[in-house]
Amino acid sequence: MRELSAMIVAMAGWSFVLPALFGPGRADAAPCVFVKLAAAGQEVAARLRCEARDLETGVVPACVADAATRRQLAFAAAETEGGCQTTGDSAAIGDAVDDLVASLRTALLPGGPGSSLCTEGQLRAAARAARRLMQAYARNARQPDAARLNQRIADAQELFTASFTDAVALGSCLSATGDVAAFTLLGQGTARLRGLLEPSCGDGVRAPVEPCDGDDLGSCTGTCTASCTCDMSAACPCWTRTVIDATFPPGYFDQNGRGGATCDSPSGFRGFFSSDTCFLPRLVNPGIDIARAGAVVLGDSSCFLIADLDIDNDGSCDGPPHQTRISAAQSSACIAELEASEVYQTECVAPPPTRTAP
């Protein structure tokens, strides 16, 4: 197996030739994305071989560092040649490689390092499969052919399954993870690397050049459009899930006499509020009792974020709740953020929700 170091035959003034990745006569024609995809595959493979080699003692840091250095050199060479879809992304790819290797380590070595010819064989099978998958993506980037790409992926899985099965036959594996589950992790991890290096709107992977992609929103607090742009007109003006969780930390509704939380009123409220109330006086009538705290969406018209209207806990509201007018699109965004908050999951999803109007 050729290492990335074998590709670098000159470094004067950042002048590189990469025959091992391109093949004879292909260095000038190969696009940057081809180089980066192949280099990322080399790093994943090298990292998994590190795991296999040092199975009993735990991976030697120098092995990891060497794999990272090879990727850094290959990326720098590719960007010097120009024509890259993304630049300055070596560190981000390194993080994605870390995530992929960690997912396989957790699946195949759940108890940590140990002695096992079976697990060593599984890791080496995974290394070869990762390299084949990334090579398939790299070749497809240079010469797109969906049918051929799918065949190469299928071939990679077939070879992986055979090697993985042979390893299991040795016995004493460190986990019961099967070939399908392991290959799924490989597929997800390598697909993410591809999505980062070869941006394609709609693949669900937010590349550096994309504000968002599907459910991968990044810093977008609005809605991700079909063209992978962030539509802030549909953003919730009332809160984000982070704001909600900061306002209502764990145990909030069980403190200061708030009486616990009530969720999702059948009268049209969506959200949660304190079971305890406070009295809000009005000019035209004696007043009403309202929930003293909560985060509530009222239909498609308004939302309320109430930290606590009765700080001194004397039963009288210190003021009226602040109401924010919203559109139907904003209402959907607010509900999505609300339901994703930790407090909503704890108070309204984990236990059976209490459906009592405030």
Query: SS in 3 state form for 323-341?
Result: EEECCHHHHHHHHHHHHHC
Structure confidence at residue 353 as a pLDDT band (50, 70, 90): very low
Q: Any idea where the domains of the chain sit in the sequence?
A: 4-198, 241-349
pLDDT confidence of 218, banded at 50, 70, 90? confident
Q: Provide CB contacts within 8 A for 171, sequence distance 6+.
A: 118
Segment 162-167 mean pLDDT = 97
Beta strands at 294-298 and 302-306: parallel, antiparallel or unpaired: antiparallel
What is the value of pTM for the model shown? 0.63
Residues 6+ apart with CB under 8 A from 260: 253, 254, 274, 275
Question: And the tokens for 113?
Answer: 């390092």
Torsion angle (degrees, nearest 10) of CA 223, 224, 230, 231 = -40
Task: Evaluate if residue 83 carries a pLDDT over 60.
Answer: yes
Q: Which two tokens stand for residue 236?
A: 């919730």
